[in-house]
């Protein structure tokens, strides 16, 4: 394990993503990637009496599903890295408590899948564990209630607004085994260009995505065409266009290789999600469901996963603060 360039870490003995499991809500299952989700929810409440409890149950089901799929028990897992969008990551707290696994609660907004995988891979590569779990979740109704307006308000959605995914994705990362390998990570810096519009988070996150992608390429002496795909987290349709434009003005053409989980998860024309998807569970479920399967099948050999986050809270936006963005890059190779 070594530090290269500005902020990238490479692994001499790359950690292995040995198993992945994705859950998704009814709207997400109706989208283009519906067949790739392991757990297809029929009801966004999951039989609970609140959206917050439903998200915790969503996380519980996803982790249980991952352990069963991998034929593992909670006792086999040394550490668990996870987070969500609810205040003080309480969805993860209550969803994971009964597994009795040492827990690192994370908040990276919608970049949390990248953050959790970065930290998990460092723990494995550093010899501090043999098997760890990383993941995240989001719930549309819980997020709308906390960050914008409860559903009962029935406010008009702007055309730049994205749809927070009701979804969850978790992965097992080991020091050995079969599966895609994490060869390098580039933890991102906070980038703030002064965006304050909470209904246009793609614009807030796009500069951070570009900063992390270009830094990873520079640090590792690579070019975009060295990857089969560069996948951002939840820039959505507008944010992805902004990211491509910013990168182009900085001298790097990302056209043809870059795509976005928020752009892929919904059929915007049919599902009327306006600017695509967002939420921690967006990149978490799309990677654990679709992209992981594509790597296993050999359809993709090398990808750069770059989950993106808008670092805001209800309090910060109410007080007029800007929305800093962040993005973490994970280089994944299927040999």
SS3 assignment for the chain: CEEECCCEEECCCCCEEEEEEEEECHHHHCCCCHHHCCEECCCCCCCCCCHHHHHHHHHHHHHHHHHHHHCCCHHHCCEEEEECCCHHHHHHHHHHHHHCCCEEEECECECHHHHHHHHHHHHHHCCCCCEEEEEEEECHHHHHHHHCCCHHHCCCCCCCCCEECCEEEEEEEECCCCCCEEEEEECCCCECCCCCCCCCHHHHHHHHHHHHHHHHHHHHCCCHHHCCEEEECCCHHHHHHHHHHHHHHCCCCCCCCEEEHHHHCCCHHHHCCCCCEECHHHHHHHHHHHHHHHHHCCCCCEEEEECEEECCCHHHHHCCCCCCEEECEEEEECC
> Who has greater pLDDT, 175 or 196?
175
Is-contact 265 165, C-beta < 8 A? Answer: yes
Confidence of residue 294 (pLDDT cuts 50, 70, 90): very high
- Least confident segment among 38-47, 136-145, 226-235: 136-145
pLDDT of the residue at 149: 58
Confidence of residue 11 (pLDDT cuts 50, 70, 90): very high
Q: Is the pLDDT of residue 158 over 60?
A: no
pLDDT per position as a tens digit, 227-280? 999 999 888 888 899 999 999 999 999 999 999 998 899 887 766 666 567 788
Buried b / exposed e over 175-195, threshold 16 CB at 10 Å, is: bebebbbbbbbbbbeebeeeb
- Residues 150-164 have a mean pLDDT of 59
pLDDT of the residue at 200: 67
pLDDT of the residue at 239: 86
pTM above 0.75, yes or no: yes
What are the backbone angles phi and psi of residue 64, rounded to the nearest 5°? -60, -40
Among candidates 304, 324, 210, 311, which has minimal Cα distance to 261?
304
Q: Is the pLDDT of residue 160 over 60?
A: no
What are the backbone angles phi and psi of residue 304, rounded to the nearest 5°? -115, 110
């Amino acid at each position: 394990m070594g530090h290269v360039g500005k902020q990238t870490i490479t692994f001499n003995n790359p950690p292995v993503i040995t198993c992945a499991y994705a859950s998704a809500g009814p709207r997400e299952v109706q989208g283009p990637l519906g067949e790739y989700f392991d757990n297809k929810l029929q009801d966004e409440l999951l039989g609970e009496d609140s959206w917050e409890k439903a998200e915790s149950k969503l996380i519980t089901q996803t982790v249980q599903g991952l352990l069963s799929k991998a034929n593992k028990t909670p006792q086999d897992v040394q550490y668990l890295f996870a987070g969500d969008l609810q205040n003080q990551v309480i969805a993860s707290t209550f969803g994971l408590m009964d597994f009795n696994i040492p827990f690192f609660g994370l908040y990276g907004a919608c970049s949390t899948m990248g953050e959790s995988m970065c930290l998990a891979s460092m723990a494995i590569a550093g010899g501090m564990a043999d098997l760890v779990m990383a993941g995240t979740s989001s719930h549309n109704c819980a997020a709308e209630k906390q960050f914008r307006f409860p559903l009962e308000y029935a406010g008009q959605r702007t055309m730049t607004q994205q749809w927070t995914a009701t979804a969850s994705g978790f992965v097992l990362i080991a020091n050995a085994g079969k599966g895609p390998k994490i060869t390098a990570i580039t933890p991102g810096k906070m980038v703030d260009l002064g965006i304050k519009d909470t209904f246009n988070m793609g614009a807030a996150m796009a500069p951070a995505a570009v900063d992390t992608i270009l830094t990873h390429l520079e640090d590792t002496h690579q070019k975009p065409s060295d990857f089969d795909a560069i996948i951002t987290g939840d820039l959505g349709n507008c944010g992805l266009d902004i990211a491509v434009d910013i990168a182009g003005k900085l001298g790097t053409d990302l056209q043809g290789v870059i795509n976005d989980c928020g752009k892929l998860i919904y059929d915007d024309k049919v599902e009327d999600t306006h600017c695509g998807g967002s939420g921690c569970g967006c990149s978490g479920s799309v990677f654990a469901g679709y992209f992981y399967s594509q790597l296993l099948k050999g359809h993709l050999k090398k990808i750069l996963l770059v989950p993106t986050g808008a670092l805001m809270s209800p309090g910060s936006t109410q007080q007029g603060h800007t929305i800093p963005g962040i993005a973490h890059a994970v280089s994944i190779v299927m040999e």
